[in-house]
Structure formats: C-alpha cells, structure tokens
Structure 1
Amino acid sequence: MTASGTFLNGTHSIYDDFSLTHDMLEDFAHENAYFLPWHRYFTYLFDLALREKCGYRGSFPYWDWTKGSYMHDLLNQIFPLMPSPLADASDITSSPVFDPDSSSGLGTNGDCTDTDCNVHDGAFSDVALAYPISHRLRRNITLTDPKDGENLVEKLTPHHISDIMVNTTGDFFKFQYRFSKAHNNLHFIVKGDMNSECPTEYPIEACELTSFASNDPLFWLHHGQIDRLWSKWQSQHPDNFYAFKGYPLHTQHINNPLYNPDASVSQVLVFDRLSAPVVVEQVFNHTAPPFCYTYID
C-alpha cells in the first residue's frame, strides 16, 4: 500500500484527514488479520495529533459499553457478581457518552424528522464535517438489525465479552473474529456517520465504497475500548501477548476464505500521509515506545 494521492478539497481540518485515511485504507484495515494492530496505531496517531497539534494534555478516553453505573460498581464490591441492569449495553441510549452539553458533550441521537438524522446538540452540532462532502454529524440509534431482527446489543454485554476473553486463549484469530462482531455491532447501533451512511446529497452508489466512521467522535471512544479489551486479553495469559495468526489454532476447513495463512508480524501497516509505516510486531506492546500508555480501569 502506498499513499493514495487523494487530498480533501476546500476547507477541512486535521480531524477530516483522519476520516479520509480511514476510508482510503478501509480494505487494508478491516475484515482481515490486521484489524486490531492497524486500529491500535491509528488510534495512537489520533491521540498524538491531539497532543502535538491541538495542545491536549489529558488522558485518551474510552467508552466501556459493558460497564454499569458507579453505584453498581460500589455495590459489587460488597455483593460480588451482582447483575448490572444499568450497564450501557442494557440501556445504551441513556449512556453518559450521549451528553447534550453544548461545550463538552458528544451529543444525543440524531433528529430523524429531517432526512439525515442530524445531531442537534452537543459540541459537534455546529461542526461541518468535510468528508465525503460537507455535512453535519448524523446518528440514528437502532438496537435491532432491521434485516433479521437480531438484538445488536447482546454482543456488547459483559457476559458475551467475558466468554470471548476466556475461550480464546492463545488463539488470536478466534479472539479477533469474535471480538470484531462486537465492534461492528456498536457501529450498526449508532448508525449515521458511525456506520458510514452517506449524506443524502452524496451519490448512493459512491457511498457503498466509503468508510468514514471516524467522523463521529464516538468512534475514538469506541476504538479506545476496543484497544483496551485487546490489551486485557493480551495480559490475561502469556500465550496471548504476542499471539498473531491469520487462521485459528485448531484449523478446520483450511480453505476457508476468512483465513490468511500468509498473515505475518512482519507485515507493513500503512497510514497514508498520517504516518510512516510500521510493522505488526511493533504494535503489540503499548507500554513501550512509541506508545508508552497504560489503561486505567
């Protein structure tokens, strides 16, 4: 992969450049063995841009959509394994991430009485996003898959994530395959920009080839969580930390098109003009340079 040669026309921001890069490298960064490594470095580059270009000095946030309320966590110390009916996965529209505050909130659901489900509150309500065309942030929260009626939040529950963590020891392919479904479902739930659904003024046939989910600020909190849970899995067992394969440990049907026997830790990960390339083996240890970060639960 090389730089795409594409530039955004007109007025745009560094934020828009990340959406362009995510789109230009969509096929390289999704539905393959490199999904988690690529997005770890991509998220790191966004954090780096916040600090070097925008003067940000705080921690990089993540959205733990499995977590219950503070009160539940406190009670759980007294009554272990107490059910968590207040977890975001149980009532996702009430999550604190959907804060309407005009200076610091990320906004609530979009208003679908207009055709584009524009978000009309929060700090992004008046931001003009430049990619793929100039438009406002859009969301259309949907909890069930309209195609088959699947409950999309089920794969975000603590029980489901715990099952993935426990039953994939040493098997990077199986972990990433199951985990990516949870990742995908959050995008399907929020919809709008988060699910790369085109603005009405953009040709629908062109929309099928775009991936601009990082337009929504929730993308970065979501991928902070995705990276955090991969980090937890890595630390859970010695066989996990450097685990990386393009096929499962116990291979069946070796000709499965999902498998990539050639997936390698020496594969070069590219980020268009955002960064020089890195190889997969450079991104496993996020506590070491260039990352040097840890997660605080």
Structure 2
Amino acid sequence: MVAFSSLLVALWVGSVGASLLPDLEFEWCGPNNQATRKEWGELTSAERIEYTDAVLCMQKQPQRLPREEFPGVRNRFDDFVATHINYTLNIHYSGLFLPWHRHFLWLWETALQDECGYNGQLPLVNPSVYFSQTDNISYWNWPYWANNLAASPLFDCSASSLSGDGEYNPEEQSIQGGSVTLPRGTGGGCVRCGPFKDMELHLGPFSRALTSFTEIPAPAFDYNPHCFNRSLNNFVSTNYNNETIVDRLLASTDIIDFQTVMNHWPPNAEGVLGVHGGGHFSIGVTLQDLFASPQDPAFMLHHGMIDRLWGQWQTRDERRRRFALNGTSTILDPPGGIPVTLDTEMQFGVLDRPRSIRDSMDPTGGGYCYSYT
C-alpha cells in the first residue's frame, strides 16, 4: 500500500474575506471577439490533432531556462514543467492556486500559438496593454467520461486523443488515503499508443510520501529520462469527478467552501480526494506527481476544467465572488503565512514577468478575453 502525501489534506487556516473592487469593463472584450475554450469531445478530430501537434512541437523547441541551473530541462515543454516545479510550494493548497494556474494556462496557450503556430490570434485594441488571446485550447469535462476513461476521446489511444492507458504493470499498488483505499488502475506502465507514445520525460518523478514542504525535494531539476506512465482509474473518476461533486462545488457558499470542496470529498473529510485531486489521480503517476504533473499532456485540460468551474462560480455572484480570496502564499496555508491580497505578485520565472493576483481574477477583464463552452 502506498500512503497518500499529506498534501491531500488542505489546512485552511485563516482567511482573507471577499475582496471587492469596482467591475472592470473592457469594451474590446465581448461575445464577438472572445476566444472560446471547448471541451475535448467538442473538437473535431482535425482540431484535436492540431493541438497535440502543437504540444509535440513545444517538445522540439529550445529551452529558455539555463541548462547549468536546470539540467533536466531539454526543451520548451520542459520550461513549463520546471516552472511548475519551482513554484509548487507556493501555488498548491494556498491562496495562489486558482489565479496562478489560470495565468499558467494562458501562458501555455499563448506559447502554443506564438511558437508553434497553434490557431489564430484575435485582434487587440492596444497590444501593449492587453494580453493577446488564442483560440480553441481545450478542457476535460470530467463527468462526461468518468465511467469509462479508456473509451473517451481523450484517452482512447486514437491519433486524435491525448494517448491512452499505459502497459499493464503488475507491480502497481493501490493507494491508502485516510479511511479510503483507492484501487490500482488498469495500466501502470509506459504509454505505447496515440500521439504521445514512447514520449520521454526528463524531470521527476517526486515521491508522494513527503513530510516536509520547506524546499523543493530531490530530484529537483535533475535530468532523469524516463517513460510517460499512465494508469486509467475509473474508480477514482467516478467517485471524485462526477456530476454530483461538480454541482456541489458550484453551489459553494463562499471561497473557503469552494476551496474545501475542490480539495475534499465529502467536504471536511481528511485524506480524501476532491475534484482537483480526483483528476490527477484518475490517470496515473505522471499526473499524480504534485511537482512535475504538467509532463502529462492532460494536465492543461484538467486545469482548464478547474478554471472553467471557478469562472462559473465567480459569475454567479459578481459582487461577492469575482475578487474573493482566501489563504496564504505558502503551501498548506501554515500558521503565520502571509495572506494573499489582490496586490500579491505571482511569479512565473522565465515564462513571464510577475503578475498581480488582481490581473488573473476575470477571464474577460484585466487583459484576458476568453470564455468556455
């Protein structure tokens, strides 16, 4: 049995109440010029392949992080993985989680367009002020496919998928989390089908059995080539990414409740996955890796769904929710942690200059201009 990392128990200590600002209106962002992020199953086969081709292209582009400091970074794709590793101890189970990952997704889709020719770019009134937008980055609507991941267009191993299950590995173990045992998935070995078959990963893996979160643990940024591993797990997806839980998340009464349901199911149950962990744990150890999980191409689509739900929740009560924050800038919100505010700066290393949380609170304001189907 493999023990859950204590990271699965979010300690919501202290809070920053709902912060209110006047509505920010940008006339240039409206229904006629918003980029639309679609569910993977809504894309045509050609559109899906266009996306996976762009991801493969990113794996061929030169890295921007210095090799001497980041020896495991071998391409542009790895720049994003290493950036996630570098800020993991700030951006998970904290007040930075939602806004940081929203901007991380935007940086990813912008890089796909600018560096690998993915889709078109919408015109801007003032490119020096506003972020540019790309179109058709996708998301993974978990309940659609929860009962049979292998039959979904995401993981069916077809040429228009994100590849599928890994080879069967008899050594894969079940996972114990509090009073709940998560049975092993159906794979556990290297992925040998679809567009990412035989893909080589360069960073990680990191242990799930961490007990201290004061510094980035080994292997840090070391070069460690290994195969892309998957193990599809319908038990996890049906229990932690179903429509009932999604509806309960959207019915959250405030940001603290929203964060709690995001990380726990049932709410307030220790050691049990919420919808965030459910997505990560439903397809194997690559996506389960707290630090290096962006190495699985499904990472961006999983977090697209999280961003979609957060945006929907915000829109249901603009005055109280649009700028609502809770937590600190340190993992697990420890006592004495510094509470986040709208002026807290988020770091993205080589990917972008620092951005304030304020800039990432509205998908149609602050420089963004996108919506979800």
- TM value normalised by structure 1: 0.74
- Larger CA deviation: 231-240 vs 128-137: 128-137
Corresponding position of 1:111:
167
In the TM superposition, 1:91-130 aligns within 5 A as 91-102=148-159, 104-113=160-169, 117-130=189-202
Q: Residue 186 of structure 1: which of 274, 279, 287 is its match?
A: 279
Q: Residue 240 of structure 1: which of 311, 321, 325 is its match?
A: 321
What amino acid does structure 2 have at the position aligned with 1:229? L
What amino acid does structure 2 have at the position aligned with 1:120? R
For the structure 1 residues 6 and 274, does the alpha-carbon distance in structure 2 shift closer, same or farther, using more than 3 Å as the test? Answer: farther
> Matches of 1:259 and 1:227 in 2, distance apart?
28
Corresponding position of 2:296:
216
For the structure 1 residues 95 and 120, does the alpha-carbon distance in structure 2 shift closer, same or farther, using more than 3 Å as the test? Answer: same
Q: Per-residue deviation at 1:5?
A: 9.4
> Matches of 1:107 and 1:128 in 2, distance apart?
14
Asked if 2 retains the 8 angstrom alpha-carbon contact of 1:117 and 1:192, the reply is no
Q: Per-residue deviation at 1:106?
A: 1.2
What amino acid does structure 2 have at the position aligned with 1:216? D
Asked if 2 retains the 8 angstrom alpha-carbon contact of 1:287 and 1:293, the reply is yes
> Matches of 2:71 and 2:167 in 1, distance apart?
28
Corresponding position of 1:74:
none
CA distances 1:216-251 after superposition (whole Å, capped 9, x unpaired)? 01001101111011111111122222211229xxxx
Asked if 2 retains the 8 angstrom alpha-carbon contact of 1:12 and 1:129, the reply is no
> Matches of 1:190 and 1:44 in 2, distance apart?
24
Asked if 2 retains the 8 angstrom alpha-carbon contact of 1:33 and 1:173, the reply is no
Q: Per-residue deviation at 1:286?
A: 1.3
Asked if 1 retains the 8 angstrom alpha-carbon contact of 2:147 and 2:237, the reply is no
Q: Residue 102 of structure 2: which of 40, 56, 59 is its match?
A: 40
In the TM superposition, 1:1-297 aligns within 5 A as 7-9=69-71, 12-57=74-119, 58-67=135-144, 88-102=145-159, 104-113=160-169, 117-132=189-204, 133-144=224-235, 153-168=238-253, 171-180=254-263, 181-196=274-289, 211-238=291-318, 239-246=320-327, 257=334, 262-295=339-372, 297=373
> Matches of 1:258 and 1:120 in 2, distance apart?
46
> Matches of 2:336 and 2:156 in 1, distance apart?
41
Q: Per-residue deviation at 1:214?
A: 0.4
For the structure 1 residues 114 and 45, does the alpha-carbon distance in structure 2 shift closer, same or farther, using more than 3 Å as the test? Answer: farther
> Matches of 2:193 and 2:68 in 1, distance apart?
32
> Matches of 1:7 and 1:193 in 2, distance apart?
23
Structure with the bigger percentage of strand: 2
> Matches of 1:157 and 1:10 in 2, distance apart?
36
For the structure 1 residues 95 and 258, does the alpha-carbon distance in structure 2 shift closer, same or farther, using more than 3 Å as the test? Answer: farther
Q: Per-residue deviation at 1:179?
A: 1.4
> Matches of 1:21 and 1:172 in 2, distance apart?
26
Q: Per-residue deviation at 1:9?
A: 2.9
> Matches of 2:72 and 2:251 in 1, distance apart?
49
What amino acid does structure 2 have at the position aligned with 1:186? G
- Larger CA deviation: 47-56 vs 259-268: 259-268
> Matches of 1:26 and 1:123 in 2, distance apart?
28
Q: Per-residue deviation at 1:39?
A: 0.5
Structure with the bigger percentage of helix: 1
The alignment of Structure 1 onto Structure 2 pairs a total of residues equal to 244
Q: Unaligned stretches of 5+ in structure 2?
A: 1-64, 120-134, 172-187, 205-223, 264-273
> Matches of 1:7 and 1:269 in 2, distance apart?
21
> Matches of 1:188 and 1:259 in 2, distance apart?
31
RMSD between superposed Cα atoms in Å? 2.6
Q: Per-residue deviation at 1:292?
A: 1.6
Asked if 2 retains the 8 angstrom alpha-carbon contact of 1:234 and 1:241, the reply is yes
SS of equivalent residue, structure 1 residue 27: helix
> Matches of 2:284 and 2:336 in 1, distance apart?
29
> Matches of 1:258 and 1:160 in 2, distance apart?
29
For the structure 1 residues 236 and 101, does the alpha-carbon distance in structure 2 shift closer, same or farther, using more than 3 Å as the test? Answer: same
Q: Unaligned stretches of 5+ in structure 1?
A: 68-87, 145-150, 197-209, 248-255
What amino acid does structure 2 have at the position aligned with 1:112? Y
What amino acid does structure 1 have at the position aligned with 2:364? T
CA distances 1:53-92 after superposition (whole Å, capped 9, x unpaired)? 111015110011123xxxxxxxxxxxxxxxxxxxx12333
